A = this chain, B = another copy of it.
Amino acid sequence: MTNDVVITLVDRTNYHLFQPLLYQVATCGLAATDIAQPIRAILSEHTNLTVLLDKVEGFDLANKHVVLDGGPLKYDYLVLALGGQTGYFGHAEWEQYAPGLKTLDDALRIRSRVLLAFERAENEMNTAEHDRLMTVVIVGGGPTGVELAGSFSELTRTVLDREFRRIDPTQARIILIEGGPKILGHLPPELSDSALRQLEALGVEVRTSTQVKNISEGQVELVGGEIIQAGNILWAAGVSASPLTKKLGVPLDRGGRVKVNPDLSLPGHPEVFAIGDLAAVLQANGKPVPGVSPAAMQMGQHVARILTQEIRFQASPADRPAFKYHDKGTMATIGRSAAVAVLGPIRLTGFPAWLVWLVVHIFFLVGFRNRAAVMFQWMYSYFSFRRSARIITYLPRQAGDRPQAEGGAPVGLGFGSFNAAPAPTPPR
């Protein structure tokens, strides 16, 4: 019966990425393969499902086909789950100086660039440049910004602390900049305050009510004129929907999200749905459904239920229920034994919040191997104060990088802006 339905899943990568742990790849805690699973492996049991590695170029909603790089793909129903990307509020030019964290590539690039800055600092005799290399600025005090700031601060204070001879990694400055009056502004004020105290205890400089005016190579200019020099600037301030939504020809909100009907279908196209970070939809209380992974999963289940009703039981599209978001809670981790969590009426901070965070994230991670591997890494890090994925692998080209040698150096170490320091002679 269900084999009458033929499902084609198109993705431009061959893996499903568990985004909530992406910051751990960026901060050397986990390997890329720990949070990614081949889509084919996850879905191999479903014989009526075909996986295609391909790139979506556009849509022809009138003729019901998706335009792929490899050719057109016809459909009866189409579910769009294209996700989001880092949003720069109209300052796309900042991206090259302040990368965001949405893909595995982003995470590996950030990991390599931050580690490389410390390596350069070790070899740098100029004090100002040394200080700049030892500074990481994170723009955006939402969950991703808080997680990155806490995790980088721990990396410098408990992992790298005894490994350098000339620099003192514990003196690294990790600066978290938030435009609003509070970090984690979506949480109750007492949890937001607790998160602030926990971050400061880790040595993070938190600057709230602080707006960024401009970002250029290695420096952040604040509204008010102050300039912060930094070896690494990371952007965690905004998310917008995939730019492919612009090719749908339907109304979008400011973040590029599709203004879907209450059943999550596109206006005028009951056979097309948009879910996840792609969909702009309101809760019963008039607030927008937040762009978090539980909401995306609930949307997926909602659309699957509608399709089952209509395909298997010939239900009428007129009878479709509206999507209802069930807020099961929210949490953010700050570091070792440090987190905040809201679970219905329960509010947790510190170790209990951190424990809940651990359990929930292990539970939702896809695949037995990844669960076991991540659990092992976390236990190892917890007891040894070490991190396992501290290798500088590759650095995709960025503005100012020296072109990579063909077949020469094994990895582009990005020495482009590396100052020829005075000879690092052994002190004898």
Mark A residues whose CB is within 8 Å of B. Answer: 6-8, 12-15, 31-34, 36, 38, 40-41, 44, 47, 50-55, 65, 68-75, 92, 95-96, 102-106, 108, 115-116, 119-120, 122-123, 160, 162-166, 369-370, 372-373, 376-377, 380, 384, 386, 388-394, 396, 404, 407, 409-411, 413, 415, 418, 420-428
Contacts and interface: CB of A to CB of B under 8 A. Distances in A.
Given A32-B391, A70-B123, A71-B422, 7 more contacts: A31-B32, A41-B163, A50-B166, A74-B425, A95-B407, A376-B376, A394-B394
A379 B45 CA distance: 23
A423 B69 CA distance: 10
Task: Name the residue among A31, A106, A388 with the largest chain B CB count within 10 angstroms.
Answer: A388
Nearest to A45: B162
A15 B394 contact: no
Given A53-B119, A423-B72, A388 B369 contact: yes
Q: Which secondary structure characterizes the binding site on chain A?
A: loop
A409 to B, nearest CB: 6
Given A52-B122, A55-B415, A415-B69, A391 B40 contact: no
Nearest to A406: B96
A25 to B, nearest CB: 10
A71 B105 contact: no
A40 B163 contact: yes
Contacts of A426: 6-8, 50, 73-75
Contacts of A74: 423, 425-426
A38 B119 CA distance: 12
B13 A163 contact: no
Given A410-B103, A427-B6, A392 B52 contact: no
B44 A413 contact: no
Nearest to A412: B396
Contacts of A71: 420-424
Given A12-B410, A418-B69, A33 B392 contact: no
A32 B410 CA distance: 14
6 contacts: A13-B411, A41-B386, A71-B423, A73-B424, A105-B394, A373-B373
Given A95-B407, A376-B373, A393 B104 contact: yes
B410 A54 contact: no
Task: Name the residue among A70, A72, A102, A384 with the largest chain B CB count within 10 angstroms.
Answer: A70
Contact of A390 (B38, B75, B95, B115): B38
A428 B105 contact: no
Nearest to A405: B55
A15 B393 CA distance: 9
A70 B424 contact: yes
Q: Which 10 residue pairs of A and B lie closest in terms of their CB atoms, listed nearest first?
A: A103-B410, A40-B163, A6-B426, A53-B119, A31-B31, A71-B423, A31-B33, A33-B389, A15-B391, A38-B390
